[in-house]
């Protein structure tokens, strides 16, 4: 495939999702609305799963490539719909983007269109991160504001306040935001909440600002550290990523770099929860156990045996596990992105577990679907009380968002009879070959397109 043909998805391994802006094939074959995942539960999981690179590191890293002159290569990128969307977005902005085996190459330097149609933000909220790099390098960005989504209203006030503090002008007009500036200037910014996206946005913007930027109360997620490492390998001067205060010494230009992102802690955690639910003996390869501390601690508390090995984690479980309480928090607390999967596990543990969601205001969409499978869950505001049942029952259910979809797969692996999951395009956003990976360790799972 030639590099000029745009974003080339890998033959046979692609998600089937068209880049943003294109419709599904007329013959309906690739129409993801008709795609279903069918699972017959009750089989223990046995063997090894290799975890892919972290979606939430890869997306900002790809977008961060906008800051550099020349060519950047991102190593071993997972095949995800969100990656397709990001590549289409970069192309739309004027970059040349292509796959080289499992790597993605981004080349800047063509004329830039510093604005993106709203379909990108609608499809993937992380598209909003283009503002910082575009304003820092080209002086202007225009993109739709992300609206409400399945997991709450998710405002962007911290992104915009921070950019204003760096000297940018911001204008909101009919749901679109315009941001512009001659050159950003370093400043001190305090985030009211340690937002992952706002931290990434401002860290990227500050790399090309004049002088020093100090961002306080930032997110400390491993994906922030990864983005900082990538930007530093392009010549940026960022210190403190992974702590509550990040300091950036602005520089005049950055150069392209080659970078391998960290493994996906949420993908690993999802398979760990699946192993706990199904019983068996499953090893997740290519993991950084340190990034999974709260998940490991909670799984151990349920009675699962979790062993940390070099670059891998082994989960062994037999019989019914014990209920635990979970409270989501910014890193290093229990990740909100593992909340739904943990709830699927608690649906079948012995006793009553309480899940408190403190990061997002409305992230319990999976509850109604789990209840269709026989789960006993009561939601009161940001708390869910889960009374474990001995067995879930297969049912037709719908993935309402990415992690809700993963939770349904986990619940289905534990259920009697078959479960049919629809709206799997949500799952394709963040899990590379989830069906193949689970088939490889003994799950009865398949993917089909309805005629």
Sole binder of ligand UD1 in the list 7, 51, 95, 156 (CB under 6 A): 156
What residue number has its CB nearest to ligand UD1?
A: 197
56 binds ligand UD1 (CB under 6 A): yes
Closest contact distance (angstroms) between CB of 370 and ligand UD1 is: 19
Q: Which of 125, 141, 32, 143 is nearest to 85 (CA)?
A: 125
Closest contact distance (angstroms) between CB of 403 and ligand UD1 is: 8
Closest contact distance (angstroms) between CB of 240 and ligand UD1 is: 18
Residues 106-125 that bind ligand UD1 (CB under 6 A): 125
262 binds ligand UD1 (CB under 6 A): no
Sole binder of ligand UD1 in the list 84, 220, 264, 337 (CB under 6 A): 337
- State which residue, 286 or 336, has the beta carbon closest to ligand UD1: 336
372 binds ligand UD1 (CB under 6 A): no
Closest contact distance (angstroms) between CB of 162 and ligand UD1 is: 8
- State which residue, 157 or 318, has the beta carbon closest to ligand UD1: 157
- State which residue, 198 or 282, has the beta carbon closest to ligand UD1: 198
Q: Looking at 87, 95, 149, 181, which residue is catalytic?
A: 149
137 binds ligand UD1 (CB under 6 A): no
278 is catalytic: no
The piece of 151-159, 168-176, 236-244, 278-286 that touches ligand UD1 (CB under 6 A) is 151-159
Residues 78-97 that bind ligand UD1 (CB under 6 A): none
What distance, in Å, lies between the first and last C-alpha atoms of the chain?
31
- Rounded CA-CA distance 251/281 in Å is 50
382 binds ligand UD1 (CB under 6 A): no
Tell me whether the omega of the peptide bond preceding residue 181 falls within 30 degrees of 0, making it cis. Answer: no
295 binds ligand UD1 (CB under 6 A): no
CA angle at 27 for the pair 90 and 448, rounded to the nearest 5°: 85
399 binds ligand UD1 (CB under 6 A): no
Q: Which of 122, 173, 172 is nearest to 147 (CA)?
A: 122
Tokens at 256, concatenated = 């392209």
- State which residue, 142 or 429, has the beta carbon closest to ligand UD1: 429
Closest contact distance (angstroms) between CB of 438 and ligand UD1 is: 21
Closest contact distance (angstroms) between CB of 372 and ligand UD1 is: 24
- State which residue, 126 or 392, has the beta carbon closest to ligand UD1: 126
Closest contact distance (angstroms) between CB of 82 and ligand UD1 is: 8
Sole binder of ligand UD1 in the list 117, 155, 303, 333 (CB under 6 A): 155
The piece of 131-139, 196-204, 418-426, 439-447 that touches ligand UD1 (CB under 6 A) is 196-204
Sole binder of ligand UD1 in the list 126, 131, 189, 274 (CB under 6 A): 126
Sole binder of ligand UD1 in the list 85, 88, 108, 195 (CB under 6 A): 195
- State which residue, 86 or 107, has the beta carbon closest to ligand UD1: 86
Tokens at 376, concatenated = 């006993």
Where along the sequence are the contacts to ligand UD1 (CB under 6 A)? 56, 59, 125-126, 152, 154-159, 193, 195-198, 219, 223, 336-337, 359-360
Active site residues: 149
């Amino acid at each position: 495939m030639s590099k000029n043909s745009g974003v080339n998805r890998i033959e046979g391994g692609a998600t089937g999702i068209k880049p943003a802006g294109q419709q599904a094939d007329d013959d309906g074959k690739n129409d993801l609305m008709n795609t279903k995942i069918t699972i017959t539960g009750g089989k223990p999981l046995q063997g090894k799963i290799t975890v892919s690179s972290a979606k939430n590191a890869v997306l900002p890293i790809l977008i961060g490539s906008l800051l550099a002159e020349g060519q950047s290569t991102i190593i071993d990128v997972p095949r995800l719909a969100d990656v397709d969307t990001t590549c289409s977005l970069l192309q739309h902005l004027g970059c040349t983007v292509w796959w080289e085996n499992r790597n993605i190459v981004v080349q800047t330097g063509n004329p830039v269109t510093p604005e993106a149609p709203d379909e990108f933000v609608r499809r993937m909220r992380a598209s909003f991160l283009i503002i910082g790099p575009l304003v820092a390098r080209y002086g202007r960005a225009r993109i739709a504001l992300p609206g409400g989504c399945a997991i709450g209203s998710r405002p962007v006030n911290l992104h915009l306040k921070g950019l204003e503090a760096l000297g940018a002008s911001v204008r909101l007009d009919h749901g679109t935001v315009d941001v512009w500036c001659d050159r950003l200037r370093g400043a001190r910014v305090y985030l009211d909440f340690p937002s992952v996206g706002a931290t990434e946005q401002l860290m990227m913007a500050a790399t090309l600002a004049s002088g020093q930027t100090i961002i306080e109360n930032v997110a400390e997620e491993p994906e922030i550290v990864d983005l900082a490492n990538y930007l530093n390998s392009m010549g940026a001067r960022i210190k403190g990523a992974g702590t509550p205060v990040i300091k950036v010494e602005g520089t005049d230009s950055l150069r392209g770099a080659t970078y391998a992102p960290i493994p996906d802690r949420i993908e690993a955690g999802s398979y760990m929860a699946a192993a706990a639910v199904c019983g068996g003996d499953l090893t997740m390869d290519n993991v950084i156990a340190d990034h999974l501390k709260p998940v490991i601690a909670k799984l151990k508390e349920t009675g699962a045996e979790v062993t940390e090995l070099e670059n891998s984690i082994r989960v062994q479980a037999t019989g019914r596990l014990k209920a635990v309480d979970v409270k989501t928090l910014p890193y290093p607390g229990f990740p909100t992105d593992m909340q739904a999967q943990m709830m699927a596990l608690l649906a079948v543990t012995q006793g009553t577990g309480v899940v408190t969601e403190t990061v997002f205001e409305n992230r319990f969409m999976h509850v109604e679907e789990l209840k269709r499978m026989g789960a006993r869950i009561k939601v009161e505001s940001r708390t869910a009380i889960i009374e474990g049942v001995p067995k879930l029952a297969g049912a037709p259910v719908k993935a309402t968002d990415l992690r809700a979809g993963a939770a349904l797969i986990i619940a289905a692996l534990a259920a009697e009879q078959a479960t049919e999951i629809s709206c799997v395009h949500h799952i394709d956003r963040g899990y590379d070959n989830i069906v193949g990976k689970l088939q490889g360790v003994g799950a009865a799972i398949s993917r089909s397109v309805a005629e």
